[in-house]
Each structure stands twice: as structure tokens, then as C-alpha cells.
Amino acid sequence: MMNDIEAELDRMDGDQRENCRKLAIRLTSELAMDDNVLRQIALKESERDQILTGVLVHSEGKDAGVEIIEDQILQLKVQRVGVLLTMKSSNWNSSNYLKKAHEKRNIIRARSQELEEIGQQEA
């Protein structure tokens, strides 16, 4: 009986480690995505500044070109908020899973101790 319980606890521990590894992989990927969007924002801001200073000439003209670039920057910022929400969701989901697994582990251990005590009383 104890071997079955220990095996179940070991399996649960392995599942929790896997969940943590997956979270690390997801966050690494999502942070890279965030870095990419931030890089695009910086490049668009540079392009806007170059249009404003006359270094670049936009095909739509200075004011329209700046407006187009500003819209693109806004879209990228919205995309970046989406990436942040994805990171938060990854964290919350993992946290909820780990909390439930911890609670289940505690229940299994408490039942195991009860069974052990009952076995000792009967002996």
C-alpha cells in the first residue's frame, strides 16, 4: 500500500516538474516575442523621427507618413499588450495547477498517515 502511495506521489512530483519546465519554455518564447515587438516599435519610432527630421521622405508626404507610422506603432503596442496577457495567463494557469497538485498531494499524504495509524492500531 505504501509503495503505491509513494509511486503516486512520485508521479505527481514528476508532473509538477514537467509543468514548471513547460512554463519556463512558454515564458522564454513569450519574452522573445515581446522583445521582437519592442524591437519593431523602436524601428518604427526611428522611422517616424527620420520622416520628421527630413532624413526620409514618405511616399504619402510628411504628415500622412507620420500618421501612418503612428498607427503602426499603436498596433504594435496593442500586440505587445496581448503578449503580456499571454504571459500572465501562462503564469496563472501554472500557478493554479501547482496549487491544486500541492493540495492533492497533502490529501494523499494525510490519508496515507491515517491508514498507517489504523494499521498500527489493528496490530
**Per-residue pLDDT tens digits for 55-76:** 988 888 888 999 999 999 999 9
User: At 93, is the pLDDT very low, low, confident or very high (cuts 50, 70, 90)?
Assistant: very high
Claim: this prediction has a pTM higher than 0.85: no
pLDDT score for 94:
97
CATH number of the domain to which 62 belongs: 1.10.287
- As a whole-number percent, the residues of the chain with pLDDT over 90 amount to 76
Are the beta carbons of 62 and 51 closer than 8 angstroms?
A: yes
pLDDT score for 2:
66
**Tally of structural domains, the chain:** 1
- Model confidence at 41: pLDDT above 70: yes
Show the domain range for 56: 2-122
